Amino acid sequence: MELVKVVFLRHGESEWNKLNLFCGWHDVDLSEKGKSDASTISAATLQQHDLKFDIAFTSALKRAHQSLEIVLNALECSKIPIHSTWRLNERHYGDLTGLNKRQMAEKYGEKKVQIWRRSFNVPPPVMDASCPYYEPIRNNPKFVDIPAEEFPDTETLESVMHRVVPYWESEITKEIKNRKRVLVLAHGTIIRAIVKHIEGISDEKISTINIPNSIPCVYNFDISTMKPVGPMEFLAEESYLQDQLRKTASIGN
């Protein structure tokens, strides 16, 4: 059995993560903490485990790009090929975009907001032209090549998988088969979508899977079967990992 490690990494804290806002396709920067964590947690952990990369995949959003630049520079991998695609964008949070998660929980109830956040196929309300973030998202030049019929106004994990899984199968797995050391630096929902696909996790159980910012997670893939051997491994000290998982699962303050 020949194994190849594949690393998944959620970007560092963004300015809207810091403010506890639904972000989705709105293109925000990393916070100062996010920049620091990309260096002192993400890159430092990868260095500790002697992980370097031949190729990287990321979204079209700058919080992912900023994290990737910091990590690759620290690992002295800045010259590797980088594939950026909207198909690895975070899920579109529809009309929740820009709204505070705690305030929405107070308005609609925690159960409803958690269904919007973590369920497999219940979408948030659709974003229409009255939303202040509609035009900035629709007119983002990074998204100019998205077919009109594929441009979302809200998404579920299920609909995200319709754009992520084909890209995983057609573009990313071929690099793994070629024994490339692959880094996928993207977003929480994107990594959850790939994890659900490769592990065959049920629609119900996937709601319990959380991906914290900045902590690398690793799979060992069997080249002959292109199946992971064992579960995903988070590269973090256990108490810190559990604290970050709780934080990610929470609606926040």
Helix (H) or strand (E) holding 216: none
Kindly tell me if the per-residue pLDDT of 253 is higher than 80: no
- In angstroms, rounded to a whole number, what is the distance separating the alpha carbons of residues 57 and 191? 12
- In angstroms, rounded to a whole number, what is the distance separating the alpha carbons of residues 110 and 54? 42
**pLDDT score recorded for residue 1:** 84
- In angstroms, rounded to a whole number, what is the distance separating the alpha carbons of residues 11 and 120? 22
The CATH code of the domain that includes 203 is: 3.40.50.1240
Contact 11, 64 (CB under 8 A): yes
**pLDDT score recorded for residue 77:** 94
15 as an active site residue: the answer is no
β-bridge partners, 218: 7, 233
**pLDDT score recorded for residue 60:** 98
Position 107 confidence tier, pLDDT thresholds 50, 70, 90: very high
Tell me what percent of the residues of the chain surpass a pLDDT of 90: 97
Encode pLDDT of 159-178 as tens digits: 999 999 999 999 999 999 99
Tokens standing for residue 93: 């949070």
Of the candidates 99, 20, 19, 14, the residue with the CA atom closest to the CA atom of residue 62? 14
Per annotation, catalytic residue among 90, 92, 155, 175: 90
**pLDDT score recorded for residue 139:** 96
Q: Could you tell me the residue range of the domain that residue 128 belongs to? A: 3-249
**pLDDT score recorded for residue 145:** 93
Q: What is the mean pLDDT of residues 148-168?
A: 97
110 as an active site residue: the answer is no
The structural domain count of the chain equals 1
Angle at 146 between CA 142 and CA 150, to 5 degrees: 140
Backbone angles phi, psi at 227, to 5 degrees: -115, 145
Considering only 23-27, 203-207, 227-231, which range has the smallest mean pLDDT?
227-231
- In angstroms, rounded to a whole number, what is the distance separating the alpha carbons of residues 49 and 42? 11
Encode pLDDT of 33-46 as tens digits: 999 999 999 999 99
Q: What is the mean pLDDT of residues 8-21?
A: 97
Q: What is the mean pLDDT of residues 110-133?
A: 96
